Structure 1
């Protein structure tokens, strides 16, 4: 019997309707965060340094942050995709180079129980924050806070199952190169086309759910298929 596939889903711009880190910075950060963003876009620093410096510029109480998280919109088709995974007894992991406070808060609001591998926000004093990186890697090619390819490779070694990545952006590039199956939109889809990485394009969870169902029928383990 084959092992269950290991399913990894990006959060920002994939589950959420937009980049939630930018929303929070626009709402709560000192104006200098724009200068840090510009330096990152010029290639002067990796995403890990960029996000650490930007989070240090936030000025929001934990209560204000939690209230903001409750307002974050998600892809309207996401819960249909979650139901498909439940029917097939297929767990998934949220793999994000964003903020764990956001991903965990949104999933809790939706009633979705899934592991979150993400950068960790910690309150410092009354209204300041710091960011730590429990899933970083010294050898990360993009100096990301969360090295997605390292997380996926560790999961594959642990279980032996096929690895599936669903994502949309730059933080998913390295993971796409090591995944057995990629479902991609946005910048990730363009990256896969440009680098001849096999992938299945999608526009949102409404069309992805049907595509993923077909993939499961062809590739899932007998145990998962029996649960369908």
Structure 2
């Protein structure tokens, strides 16, 4: 029996041309954000801890400015719209698994990806500082304190019948890349895949990904 392909795609820096959290921090956060970001990338602190600290640098009173800025400056990566249409044509499920935040993830994907196919973090602007909420935390088998735990999400799909395809770009995708059947990587994730000897295919646009997948056995008629 041929395995059924399912695609798990990161959002920030993958679906989008740049990382939206980083863009927000550059525009609104005090300089302390840089050290926190460096600690996340170096894996000195967990993603959940780091992102919590980043957003606590920002006052909730800036909500309207932050939301408007993130949506106005966001650009979807070349070929993404066509890629979504193609997955629908071939009947391959597409899940967005994102360490990003609801206030920019959902609006950006409206009309492209159904909300029920999106995993991302939530935001709370009711306090003095912005708080991030974590509806998709690690299960008991993951000790990485991921925040939105992509490993836990992938584990819900049986690897004996599902060909799990991961598309990502950064440290938030590393643990999932270790267990995926196929990895498409760019930017920092390439560096980590090479460092840890994880097989991957590089990409710059979603046209690149589609071209490779169309040659794969799992996408060929039986």
Match of 2:51 in 1: 51
Q: Distance in 2 between matches of 1:201 and 1:90?
A: 21
The offset of 1:201, in angstroms, is: 2.0
Match of 2:157 in 1: 155
Match of 1:84 in 2: 86
Matching of residues 29-40 of structure 1 within 5 Å: 29-40=29-40
Matching of residues 1-228 of structure 1 within 5 Å: 4-40=4-40, 43-59=43-59, 60-71=61-72, 72-108=74-110, 111-114=111-114, 115-125=117-127, 128-137=129-138, 140-156=142-158, 160-215=161-216, 218-220=217-219
Q: Distance in 2 between matches of 1:202 and 1:75?
A: 11
TM-score by length of 1: 0.83
RMSD: 2.5
Contact kept, 8 Å, 1:66 with 1:105, in 2: the verdict is no
The offset of 1:43, in angstroms, is: 4.6
Q: Distance in 1 between matches of 2:62 and 2:176?
A: 34
Q: Distance in 2 between matches of 1:192 and 1:36?
A: 23
Q: Distance in 1 between matches of 2:144 and 2:220?
A: 33
Contact kept, 8 Å, 1:80 with 1:209, in 2: the verdict is no
Contact kept, 8 Å, 1:182 with 1:200, in 2: the verdict is yes
Q: Distance in 1 between matches of 2:41 and 2:197?
A: 24
Contact kept, 8 Å, 2:4 with 2:218, in 1: the verdict is no
Distance 1:32 1:92, change over 3 A: same
Q: Distance in 1 between matches of 2:112 and 2:129?
A: 28
User: What stretches of structure 1 of length at least 5 have no aligned partner?
Assistant: none
The offset of 1:140, in angstroms, is: 3.5
User: What stretches of structure 2 of length at least 5 have no aligned partner?
Assistant: none
